[in-house]
C-alpha cells in the first residue's frame, strides 16, 4: 500500500464527513484505517489508536468480529438481493427479534439504511397516520433545542435549526422546545426537578399555542448524547412520564430516537427502558448492526401500523437498500453476540467505572468542569473557570487534538467538551489506559 499516493487521491477527490479536503491537505492527508480489533484501530502507517467513540458511537460490538463477516459472506453467496414484492428469511427473523425486544406493542418494523433515514420515515409515518384518520392538519413536529436527529433534508431542521440555516427555507412545521438537561438550563438556581417539570409543561404550552389540531408528533432522544448529566435522575423520569401523558392527552404521537442510545449503549437495551414508558414510534440504527453494514429501522405500535392496512392505503415509500438480506443477517448475529457476551450489563458496569475514573481525573485537573453520563455514553466539559480560560489561546483545540492523537486516542472534541462512546465490549483495564493517556495530555496543557 502506497499511503502517500492514497492520501493524495483522497485530497483530490474525497469529500469526507465533517472535514474538507483543504483541512485534510493541511494534515497531510486523512488517516487511512486498515485494521481494527475490539476498541483498537491501526492506520496505514502502523499507528494504533483507541477509538474512544466506536465510530460515531455506533460500533457497539467492537471491530473485527469474524462471526459477522462470515454470516454476511454466507448470505451474499446464497442471495445478494431479492425480487420486487418478496422478502428474505434473515429480514423476517430480524423483525421478529426486534419486536420481541422493544417495549409495549411496538411490533411492526419498517427497515431502512441508517438513522437519518429512520427519523425521516418516522415523521412521514406519523403525519400519514393522522391524515388517514381524517386529521390532515396535524403535520407539525416538536423537537428539543440542541438535539440531533440526522442530516437529511427534513430531519436536519429538528433540534438545531441554526446549524443548517445555510440550506435555505426551514422545513415546514418545525416547533422547538427546551432541552431538559440541567447543563443547558437557562434559569439559574432552578432545581433539576423544576427544570424537568418546566420543560415538560413547555411541550404542552406549545401544543396549545399551535393548536393540538396541527401537532403530529414530538420527537426526542431518551438521553442526549452531548453531556448526559443526571440522565436517569428522578426528575428526568418524571419528565418522560409527563411527556407521555401530554402526548396522550392531545392525540400527539411520541417518537423516541434510539439511534445512539439503542442496543446497550446506556446499560439497557434501549435508552427509554430507563424511564418505564412506551413510545408510539421508535427509531434505531448504529448499534442494531454495530455499523458492520448499513441498517436502520422504524418500529411502530400496532394501532399506528393498522392505519396503513389495505391496497389503497399503503405507505408510499420504497428504499432500494432497506431490508437488505446481508444487513439483516449481520444485525441478527450482532444482537446474538451482545446477548451471549452480556454486553448490555458490561456497558452498565464498565460505564460506572469509567464515570468514577473521570471524576478521579477531575480532582486532579482544574481544567475539567462538568462530568456526566450513563452506561458508555459519557462526557466532560473543559475550562471551568475564568482564571484558566484567560490563559487559553485560540490554538487550544488544535493542541488538544494533536496531543490526543500523539497518545493514541481518537476522541470527539471541540476543545470545550470531550465525548466518550466506546464499543460496549470495552473492559476496565482499557478504561484505565484511556484515563492514563488523557491525564498526561491535560497535565501538559495545564503546564503550557
Whether 70 and 118 share a structural domain: yes
Whether 74 and 212 share a structural domain: yes
Name the band, by pLDDT with cuts 50, 70 and 90, for residue 372.
Answer: confident
Grid cell in block for residue 19 = 472535514
DSSP string, 86-155: ---HHHHHHHHHHHHHSSTTEEEEEEESSHHHHHHHHHHHHHHHHHHTT-TT--EEEEETT----SSTTG
DSSP string, 340-393: HTTHHHHHHHHHHHHHHHHHHHHHH-TTEEEEEEETTEEEEEE--SHHHHTT--
Cα separation of 203 and 338, whole Å?
A: 36
Is this model's pTM higher than 0.85 or not?
yes
Name the band, by pLDDT with cuts 50, 70 and 90, for residue 232.
Answer: low
CA 52 to chain centre: 15
Cα separation of 327 and 294, whole Å?
A: 7
CA-closest candidate to residue 219, choices 294, 127, 135: 127
Question: Whole-number mean pLDDT of the chain?
Answer: 91
Domain of 351 in residue numbering reads as 3-11+20-64+342-447
Give the sign of the dihedral formed by CA 355, CA 220, CA 330, CA 64. Answer: negative
Name the band, by pLDDT with cuts 50, 70 and 90, for residue 168.
Answer: confident
Grid cell in block for residue 93 = 427473523
Whether 334 and 374 share a structural domain: no
Across 86-100, average pLDDT: 98
Q: Which of 340, 362, 389 is the last residue of a domain?
A: 340
**Number of domains present in the structure of the chain:** 2
Q: Which residues pair with 281 in a beta bridge?
A: 255, 300
Taking only the tens place, the pLDDT of each residue in 283-315 is 999 999 999 999 999 999 999 999 999 877 889
Whether 269 and 218 share a structural domain: yes
Question: What pLDDT does residue 387 have?
Answer: 45
Cα separation of 64 and 212, whole Å?
A: 49
Amino acid at each position: 500500500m502506497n499511503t502517500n499516493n492514497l492520501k493524495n487521491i483522497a485530497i483530490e477527490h474525497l469529500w469526507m464527513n465533517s472535514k474538507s479536503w483543504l483541512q485534510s491537505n493541511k494534515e497531510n492527508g486523512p488517516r487511512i484505517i486498515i485494521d481494527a480489533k475490539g476498541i483498537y484501530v491501526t492506520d496505514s502507517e502502523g499507528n494504533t489508536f483507541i477509538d474512544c467513540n466506536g465510530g460515531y458511537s455506533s460500533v457497539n460490538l467492537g471491530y473485527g468480529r469474524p462471526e459477522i463477516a462470515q454470516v454476511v459472506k454466507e448470505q451474499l453467496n446464497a442471495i445478494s438481493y431479492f425480487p420486487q414484492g418478496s422478502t428474505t428469511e434473515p429480514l423476517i427473523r430480524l423483525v421478529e427479534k426486534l419486536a420481541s425486544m422493544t417495549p409495549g406493542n411496538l411490533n411492526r418494523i419498517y427497515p431502512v439504511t441508517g438513522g437519518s433515514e429512520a427519523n425521516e420515515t418516522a415523521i412521514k409515518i406519523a403525519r400519514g397516520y393522522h391524515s388517514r384518520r381524517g386529521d390532515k392538519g396535524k403535520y407539525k413536529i416538536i423537537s428539543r433545542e440542541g438535539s440531533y436527529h440526522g442530516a437529511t433534508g427534513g430531519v436536519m431542521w429538528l433540534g438545531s435549526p441554526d446549524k443548517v440555516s445555510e440550506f435555505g427555507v426551514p422545513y415546514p412545521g418545525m416547533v422547538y422546545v427546551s432541552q431538559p438537561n440541567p447543563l443547558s438550563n437557562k434559569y439559574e438556581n432552578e432545581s433539576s426537578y423544576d427544570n424537568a417539570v418546566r420543560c415538560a409543561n413547555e411541550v404542552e404550552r406549545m401544543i396549545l399555542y399551535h393548536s393540538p389540531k396541527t401537532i403530529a408528533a414530538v420527537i426526542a432522544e431518551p438521553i442526549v448524547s452531548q453531556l448526559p448529566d443526571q440522565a436517569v435522575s428522578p426528575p428526568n423520569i418524571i419528565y418522560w412520564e409527563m411527556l407521555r401523558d401530554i402526548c396522550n392527552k392531545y392525540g400527539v404521537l411520541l417518537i423516541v430516537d434510539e439511534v445512539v442510545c439503542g442496543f446497550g449503549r446506556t446499560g439497557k437495551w434501549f435508552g427509554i427502558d430507563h424511564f418505564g414508558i412506551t413510545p408510539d414510534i421508535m427509531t434505531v440504527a448504529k448499534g442494531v448492526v454495530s455499523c458492520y453494514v448499513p441498517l436502520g429501522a422504524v418500529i411502530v405500535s400496532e394501532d399506528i401500523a393498522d392505519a396503513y392496512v389495505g391496497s389503497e392505503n399503503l405507505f408510499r415509500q420504497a428504499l432500494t437498500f432497506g431490508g437488505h438480506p446481508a444487513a439483516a443477517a449481520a444485525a441478527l448475529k450482532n444482537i446474538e453476540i451482545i446477548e451471549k457476551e452480556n454486553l448490555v450489563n458490561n456497558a452498565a458496569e464498565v460505564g460506572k467505572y469509567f464515570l468514577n475514573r473521570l471524576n478521579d481525573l477531575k480532582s486532579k485537573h482544574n481544567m475539567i468542569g462538568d462530568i456526566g453520563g450513563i452506561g458508555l455514553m459519557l462526557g466532560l466539559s473543559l475550562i471551568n473557570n475564568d482564571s484558566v480560560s484567560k490563559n487559553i489561546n485560540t490554538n487550544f483545540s488544535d493542541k488538544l487534538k494533536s496531543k490526543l492523537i500523539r497518545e493514541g486516542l481518537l476522541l470527539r472534541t471541540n476543545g470545550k467538551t470531550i465525548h466518550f462512546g466506546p464499543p460496549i465490549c470495552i473492559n476496565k483495564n482499557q478504561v484505565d489506559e484511556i484515563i492514563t493517556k488523557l491525564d498526561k495530555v491535560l497535565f501538559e496543557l495545564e503546564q503550557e
